[in-house]
Structure 1
């Protein structure tokens, strides 16, 4: 897949063009991008391809994309009544 197919709306591409963009803004853009992905697309593969094409060292979107590649955190057991209930 090409970057244009993965990033149809150009959200990731444009985030790299915005001067002075913050990490918080990049996270918001990333979430919008992820929600627009068509079914059946491997998110980690898509992120890897975007990083290979757009990634710029030191850019906040590069940091956010790398965080997206990291393994998800394991859910922790909830305490209280709901945690003890079988």
Structure 2
């Protein structure tokens, strides 16, 4: 028995992802920009990975859309640590 995903209205409260799928000829870079706006509009306590899974499932029929590729990239980075640390630890030898 799988875990139930959140409601699409919780996952895309402003409808940014929905609207990106409606834009004809949208580029990969434009989708990345929209994804950043979308991520910043999510509530602080929202599980971003679960929200991405929810919208991917909702728009699975549009798998060749650039936004689907960007969302899949977002899921692929789950659990990865940043390549470089900032501050004095990043400059430390």
TM-score by length of 2: 0.78
How many matched pairs?
81
The range that moved more, 52-61 or 18-27, is 52-61
Taking the aligned partners of 2:85 and 2:44, their CA distance within structure 1 comes to 30
1:44 — aligned with what? 49
Taking the aligned partners of 1:77 and 1:29, their CA distance within structure 2 comes to 26
1:63 — aligned with what? 69
- For the pair shown, the structure with the greater C-alpha radius of gyration is 1
Structure 2's unaligned 5+ residue stretches are 1-5
Change (3 A) 1:46 1:22: same
Q: Displacement of 1:54 after TM fit? A: 1.4
Taking the aligned partners of 1:50 and 1:33, their CA distance within structure 2 comes to 11
Q: Displacement of 1:10 after TM fit? A: 0.4
Q: Displacement of 1:5 after TM fit? A: 1.7
Q: Displacement of 1:74 after TM fit? A: 3.9
TM-score by length of 1: 0.84
Taking the aligned partners of 1:24 and 1:41, their CA distance within structure 2 comes to 24
Q: Displacement of 1:46 after TM fit? A: 0.6
Aligned CA-pair RMSD: 1.7
